[in-house]
Amino acid sequence: MGEAVRLEGIGLHTGRLQRITLHPAPQDTGILFRRT
C-alpha cells in the first residue's frame, strides 16, 4: 500500500456514519489493527 486510504459509510448495526483510515506500514510488518 503506497499511501493512506480513507473510507466512510453507514454502520451496519448503528446506522451512524463511520470512518476508517488505512495507513501504510513498513515492509514486512504484517497486518496490525489499532482502534483509535
pLDDT digits (tens, 9 = 90+) for 6-32: 999 999 999 999 999 988 988 898 888
Number of domains in the chain: 1
Which residue has better confidence, 2 or 16? 16
Residue 1 has pLDDT above 90, yes or no: no
Beta strand 17-22 with 5-10: parallel, antiparallel or unpaired? antiparallel
The reply to whether 35 falls in a domain is no
Residue 4 has pLDDT above 90, yes or no: yes
Which of 19, 31, 9, 18 lies closest to 1 in space, CA to CA? 31
The reply to whether 34 falls in a domain is no
Q: How far apart are CA 33 and CA 3, in angstroms?
A: 17
Structure confidence at residue 25 (pLDDT): 86
The reply to whether 3 falls in a domain is yes
> Residues, the chain, total?
36
Structure confidence at residue 18 (pLDDT): 95
